[in-house]
């Protein structure tokens, strides 16, 4: 019976002893001859695994050595610096992860002055490039709402052609055989004794269109014209007297060509005068379609200029009065 109890108790005691003892013969609960206990063993194991845990603030440990310890706990002193751009623990993000906000201009790529961002094909990065004409889209004329094109920006025309309106696009047509009148100058006398044109090119023909007011018409007054500032007795005029039957023509010379004669009854003079400008002959004819002279039965119909010179200036003056009104001068060259 004693033998049986020994056989049953000895293995059980051996197992219990093994379980309660640490290697080296120390007791798990009560300690042993080496002074070992459970708490000192755990502290040693922690030191083996993590290093000196009391030095978290000053010693950096690899993340693999710090199971369950956060990054902020194991290197609080240089955490931000190590994650900055270019540092060992810098964080990189895909652009898809930047979901809000806008980059300031200082964060955009830089380029030479005057260049613009340009698409560089599907799948390729954009590039900076200078703007060229091909980059400008077609614009409707209605988009140009101010300013005027200079003459040099207008379409070139065929020589001796003019533009003609068609209700749509203009078209080029031949210039009239006789040419067209070119506007040269406007004179605007205001209560002056005389007024002169600027220096003119000697055209084939001149045309004078005028409307003048004769002032101080209590006495006889006249509207007159001179060429090239010539005050000599080189002008002739032809007057038609229609107060008699049949009408009688009168001709006389003077130091100016008289366009119209006025009394107080006839205050205004208006008309059109034609004469050649570049004959250089001794007799330049003058055709006068002007206002009344003396009475409604007298009309200065024509005249001449007797000096041998092209006409380059025209002077308008009052005789016995000052003049006010408008004078337009036109020139014309034959084709």
pLDDT in tens, 263-276: 665 677 788 889 99
More confident residue, 218 or 82: 82
Helices (H), 137-255: none
Please, which pLDDT band fits residue 30 given cuts at 50, 70 and 90? very low
**Binning pLDDT at 50, 70 and 90, where does residue 327 land?**
very high
DSSP state of 135: G
Q: Is the pLDDT of residue 288 over 60?
A: yes
Say whether pLDDT at 116 is over 80: yes
User: Taking all residues of the chain, what is their mean pLDDT, rounded to a whole number?
Assistant: 75
The C-alpha atoms of residue 197 and residue 330 are separated, in whole angstroms, by: 11
Helix, strand or coil for residue 268? Answer: strand
Token pair recorded at residue 212: 């003048």
Determine the Cα–Cα distance for residues 286 and 50; give it in Å rounded to an integer.
Answer: 125
Most confident of the following: 4-18, 145-159, 262-276: 145-159
Q: What is the pLDDT of residue 293?
A: 47
> In the prediction, which pLDDT does 198 show?
92
Strand pairing report for 221-227 and 257-262: antiparallel
Whole-number percent of the chain with pLDDT over 70: 67
Question: Looking at the DSSP assignment, which residues form a beta bridge with residue 221?
Answer: 262
pLDDT over threshold 50, residue 214: yes
Selected residue with higher pLDDT from 89 and 150: 150
- Position 244 confidence tier, pLDDT thresholds 50, 70, 90: confident
Phi, psi at residue 326, to the nearest 5°? -135, 140
CB 271 within 8 A of CB 328: no
Cβ 308 vs Cβ 278: under 8 Å: no
Q: Above pLDDT 90, what percent of the chain?
A: 14
* Whole-number Å distance between alpha carbons of 151 and 141: 17
Burial 176-187 (b: 16+ CB within 10 A, else e): eeebeeeebeeb
Residue 37 has pLDDT above 60, yes or no: no
Predicted confidence band of residue 313 (pLDDT cuts 50, 70, 90): very high
Q: Mind listing the domains of the chain with CATH numbers? A: 1-49 (no CATH), 182-332 (2.60.120)
CB atoms inside a 10 Å sphere around CB 194: 13
The CA-based angle 238-323-194, given to 5 degrees, is 80
Task: Kindly state the greatest CA–CA separation across the chain.
Answer: 192
Q: For the whole prediction, is pTM greater than 0.85?
A: no
The three-state secondary structure class of 38 is helix
């Amino acid at each position: 019976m004693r033998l049986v109890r020994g056989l049953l108790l000895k293995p059980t005691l051996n197992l219990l002893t093994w379980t309660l003892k640490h290697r080296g013969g120390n007791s798990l609960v009560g300690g042993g001859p080496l002074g070992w206990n459970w708490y000192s063993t755990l502290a040693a194991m922690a030191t083996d695994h993590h290093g000196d845990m009391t030095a978290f603030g000053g010693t950096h440990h690899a993340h693999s050595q710090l199971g369950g310890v956060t990054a902020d706990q194991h290197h609080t002193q240089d955490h931000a610096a190590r994650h900055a751009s270019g540092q060992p623990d810098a964080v990189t993000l895909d652009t898809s992860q930047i979901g809000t906000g806008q980059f300031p201009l200082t964060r955009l790529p830089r380029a030479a002055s005057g260049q613009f961002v340009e698409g560089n094909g599907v799948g390729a990065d954009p590039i900076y490039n200078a703007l060229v004409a091909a980059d400008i889209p077609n614009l409707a004329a209605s988009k140009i709402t101010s300013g005027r094109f200079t003459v040099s920006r207008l379409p070139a025309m065929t020589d001796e052609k003019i533009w003609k309106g068609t209700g749509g696009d203009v078209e080029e047509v031949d210039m009239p055989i006789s040419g067209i009148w070119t506007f040269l100058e406007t004179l605007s006398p205001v209560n002056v004794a005389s007024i002169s044109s600027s220096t003119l090119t000697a055209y084939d023909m001149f045309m004078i269109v005028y409307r003048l007011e004769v002032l101080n018409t209590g006495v006889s007054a006249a509207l007159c014209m001179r060429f090239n500032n010539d005050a000599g007795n080189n002008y002739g005029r032809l007057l038609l007297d229609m107060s008699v039957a049949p009408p009688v023509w009168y001709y006389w010379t003077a130091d100016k060509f008289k366009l119209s004669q006025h009394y107080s009854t006839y205050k205004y003079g208006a008309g059109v005068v034609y004469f050649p400008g570049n004959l250089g002959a001794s007799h330049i004819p003058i055709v006068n379609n002007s206002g009344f002279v003396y009475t409604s039965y007298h009309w200065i119909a024509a005249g001449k200029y007797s000096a041998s010179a092209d006409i380059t200036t025209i002077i308008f003056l009052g005789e016995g009065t000052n003049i006010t009104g408008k004078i337009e001068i036109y020139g014309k060259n034959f084709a």
